[in-house]
Structure 1
Amino acid sequence: MLKRLKLRSQLLLFFAGIVLPVALFIGCSSNNLSTNSNLSVNSDSSSNSDMAIATEIAQGIAKACPVTDLGDEKAQQQCAEKLANFDLLHKSMSEDMLWGQQREPNHYNPTEHETTVFNPLVWRRTYLSTFVINDEPKVEEQEGFTIIHLPVMFRKKLDMGAFPYPFWHSPKKWDAYQQATEVLLVMKEGKIKGALRSYQKDQERPLVEREWDGQWMWEEKDGKQEPRVTLYTNLFSERNPHVKTLDAAYRAFEVEMRQHACMVCHSPDNSNEMKQLLLLNYPNQALALRHENVTQIADKLMPPPVGIADDEERQNLLELAKAFAEAGDQALAYEGEQITATANGNKLSLKPFNFAF
């Protein structure tokens, strides 16, 4: 077991433009990542409140994901579990989480970068856990946002099935993950709106070379589906009673979607060049689009440009989309995730995507 480092630091006064050092905690096995139980996400939307919340979040993430061997899957799983159950982080995340590459230094608004939209539980458990925190985080204010700087190293040596998808389908993207020096969490009014891999890269870091075989998904010899981290059994707790229903609903919806070429636009290669990409070809990542599916199909916008011409086929896909949305809501609600749109029979209360901050 790694020896816990005892770091002592004093927080500087909270005001705009001042960087706060944050203590890095290493080797703690507790799931209680809060360092100040008196802080509340809903207590105050002022600048000082955001800085205080951001500081505690940074401490908790550092505590959850300390430096380990970059191929240690057990450590990655422990990090993922702690991030999934980190209450303050959970409560501080927007329901639609943007994740992408920072295109310019000192420019942080996630809506102005090319990003992918994720459910927040999926992002923190599946994506954030692929990094270790290798130095003291810091917090500052820039462009009207509170920015959490997480110094990171990417777990590049993990087994292929431990990654959310084969990042190496694009050598440029794979190298960007490996050379990223920071993950930047962007907060406004008490909510983390998105996260970016830093523009700054360490090009001296040794790279792990991988070659893509053209398959987004594959099966091992024992029949297990990969990437395994994309499955609902990996995302949700074992006690969640809605997982089987959700998986069946997604599989039924997926089969019909493929008949209408929906995966052409909604795959990681982003062939349609969407600025905010939405993925459908993986079970866990499809959760972000579960309500928008219903709107787009009903309004004859999906697949573009005019939807499904045959009324019976469109209605069939619409019912499958509603079933998937409802099952997704139930599974996420069981885990305590925020739900603002719910499916109920044939009626659906929809929340359209709105990324204006």
Structure 2
Amino acid sequence: MGVIKMSARTLLAMAAAVGAGLAYGTTSPAPAGARPVPAALTQAAAAIAKELATHCPLAPAGDTESYNRCRQHLYGDSALRAQLPAYLIWGRQSKVPNATLRQTNLTQFSPEVWTSMYAPLFMFNGKHTVEWVPEEKSFLVRLQAAFRNRLAPGQFPYPFWHEEAKWAMYENANGLMLWINPDTLKVKAAQFTDRAPNPLLHAVAPVNHGKHDNATWLWTDARGVTQPAVSLFDGIYRADNPHLKAMDRQYRDLALQMRESQCTSCHVPNNPDKMSRLVLLSTPVHAAGEIDRLIRSVKEDRMPMDEYRTSYALPDEAKKALLQSAEEFKATVEAAKAWEHRHQAVKPTAPAPVGRVPGMNVSSNQPQQVAK
């Protein structure tokens, strides 16, 4: 067979093409016994990576406009949301070496909660890989990412800095991991990590928000506005949505009923009972995403739980009051969604200014962020 001659320019072009493929989207070679990556997953991963790089690109970590654009896109008919199941679990990668998802405490979210409050906190460059992980019996899409650590406190779903180690991992995150169910090709779990194989995508200027009391998940800022604003449907529902006031009132009533029924002592971000699969009910958006589960669990006497993690039935009157509040809140949330759907041709109003964490010594409406 004759030798095929190629010019130096051709060889360089081929090398560049291979390098680009390795940088922006690769499928790791499958070792013996591993499952090959389906073409549909390769295509979906590439679409998600491109979408994230386009609508959630790298920007200054405190760029609110960039964050809002990312948030509004992901919450809509995005490629990412199309790959999400009825619920997914989310959290940081465990610091324990080789810890599996089953061994890691994670939080359960509905797609609308995760795409509106958590995923938009990250920025992407489009580079990703897809591989099979036999220990998890799942495919893994790794996305290079960076975290928006310099946003105002009201733009986080709750004060992530209530735990120093959690906030540090968020600030230094360099990757997002999407765990894919091999049967459905849907995302079953998502994690952020500061141990991705790629370097940080930009220099991190740490922010010190001060010590958190591990109890205040909603607060009122100096202007009398409840924060975090993102947990009140801000920027997702239009300001003229006629159901907003009713949702706020009904959530407050629901929160009171849950507190009296001992339902809020567990379902809060600091996870006092160390549940392996936490469900948050501490803000209106979180509660709206889990309202069906809440109603079902109360009806079936699977919550609340006692100090030994044993569920028990509420007294009849308390159960009736809690279910009534939950059903009313659910009905109004559904009405608000229906109104938004009918008016979807109209662009949502810009999110309201976000406020400060209580106790911070600031003289303006903007939160003070102190570099460490």
Query: Under a length normalisation based on structure 1, what TM-score does the superposition of the two structures give?
Result: 0.75
Q: Is the 8 A contact 1:297 1:307 kept in 2?
A: no
> How far did 1:73 drift?
1.2
Q: Is the 8 A contact 1:108 1:186 kept in 2?
A: no
| Residues in 1 aligned to 2:245 and 2:162: alpha-carbon distance in whole angstroms | 30
Question: Which residue of structure 2 lines up, in the alignment, with residue 64 of structure 1?
Answer: 55
Question: Which residue of structure 1 lines up, in the alignment, with residue 363 of structure 2?
Answer: none
Question: Which residue of structure 2 lines up, in the alignment, with residue 252 of structure 1?
Answer: 253
Q: Is the 8 A contact 2:27 2:129 kept in 1?
A: no
Alpha-carbon displacement from aligned partner over 1:161-192 (angstroms, at most 9, x marks no partner) = 11111011100110011112101112222311
Q: Is the 8 A contact 1:96 1:288 kept in 2?
A: no
Q: Is the 8 A contact 2:144 2:175 kept in 1?
A: yes
The equivalences for 1:112-191 within 5 A come to 112-134=103-125, 136-143=127-134, 144-188=137-181, 189-191=184-186
Question: Which residue of structure 2 lines up, in the alignment, with residue 354 of structure 1?
Answer: none
Question: Which residue of structure 1 lines up, in the alignment, with residue 73 of structure 2?
Answer: 82
| Residues in 2 aligned to 1:60 and 1:295: alpha-carbon distance in whole angstroms | 36
Residue among 49, 55, 58 paired with 2:46: 55
What secondary structure is seen at the aligned counterpart in 1 of 2:66? helix
Alpha-carbon displacement from aligned partner over 1:286-312 (angstroms, at most 9, x marks no partner) = 233211211222233322145454312
> How far did 1:69 drift?
0.8
Q: Is the 8 A contact 1:278 1:288 kept in 2?
A: no
Alpha-carbon displacement from aligned partner over 1:302-352 (angstroms, at most 9, x marks no partner) = 22145454312211111222223343445456667xxxxxxxxxxxxxxxx
Question: Which residue of structure 2 lines up, in the alignment, with residue 193 of structure 1?
Answer: 188
> How far did 1:109 drift?
6.2
Question: Which residue of structure 2 lines up, in the alignment, with residue 97 of structure 1?
Answer: 88
Query: Identity rate of aligned residues, in percent?
Result: 27
- Provide closer, same or farther for how the CA distance between residues 106 and 191 of structure 1 changes in structure 2, counting only shifts above 3 A: farther
Q: Is the 8 A contact 1:140 1:148 kept in 2?
A: yes
Q: Is the 8 A contact 2:261 2:318 kept in 1?
A: no
> How far did 1:84 drift?
1.5
Check if 1:226 corresponds to 2:231. Answer: no
| Residues in 2 aligned to 1:151 and 1:190: alpha-carbon distance in whole angstroms | 20
- Provide closer, same or farther for how the CA distance between residues 134 and 278 of structure 1 changes in structure 2, counting only shifts above 3 A: same
Q: Is the 8 A contact 1:80 1:126 kept in 2?
A: yes
Alpha-carbon displacement from aligned partner over 1:47-78 (angstroms, at most 9, x marks no partner) = 22122112111111111111111111111111
| Residues in 1 aligned to 2:326 and 2:208: alpha-carbon distance in whole angstroms | 38
Most deviating of 55-64 and 323-332: 323-332
Question: Which residue of structure 1 lines up, in the alignment, with residue 218 of structure 2?
Answer: 217
What secondary structure is seen at the aligned counterpart in 2 of 1:168? helix
- In structure 1, the gaps of 5 or more residues are 1-6, 20-45, 337-357
For these two proteins, the number of residue pairs brought into alignment is: 303
Alpha-carbon displacement from aligned partner over 1:65-109 (angstroms, at most 9, x marks no partner) = 111111111111111112112432222111112111222699696
| Residues in 2 aligned to 1:301 and 1:243: alpha-carbon distance in whole angstroms | 30
Which letter maps to 2:293? E
Question: Which residue of structure 1 lines up, in the alignment, with residue 364 of structure 2?
Answer: none
| Residues in 1 aligned to 2:51 and 2:340: alpha-carbon distance in whole angstroms | 20
| Residues in 2 aligned to 1:209 and 1:232: alpha-carbon distance in whole angstroms | 26
| Residues in 2 aligned to 1:232 and 1:98: alpha-carbon distance in whole angstroms | 21
Alpha-carbon displacement from aligned partner over 1:183-232 (angstroms, at most 9, x marks no partner) = 11122223111210126167995422221342222111211111111102
- Provide closer, same or farther for how the CA distance between residues 241 and 145 of structure 1 changes in structure 2, counting only shifts above 3 A: farther
RMSD: 3.1
Which one scores higher on RCO, CA 8 angstroms, separation ≥ 6? 2
- Provide closer, same or farther for how the CA distance between residues 85 and 156 of structure 1 changes in structure 2, counting only shifts above 3 A: same
Question: Which residue of structure 2 lines up, in the alignment, with residue 318 of structure 1?
Answer: 323
> How far did 1:238 drift?
5.0
| Residues in 2 aligned to 1:242 and 1:316: alpha-carbon distance in whole angstroms | 22
> How far did 1:251 drift?
2.2
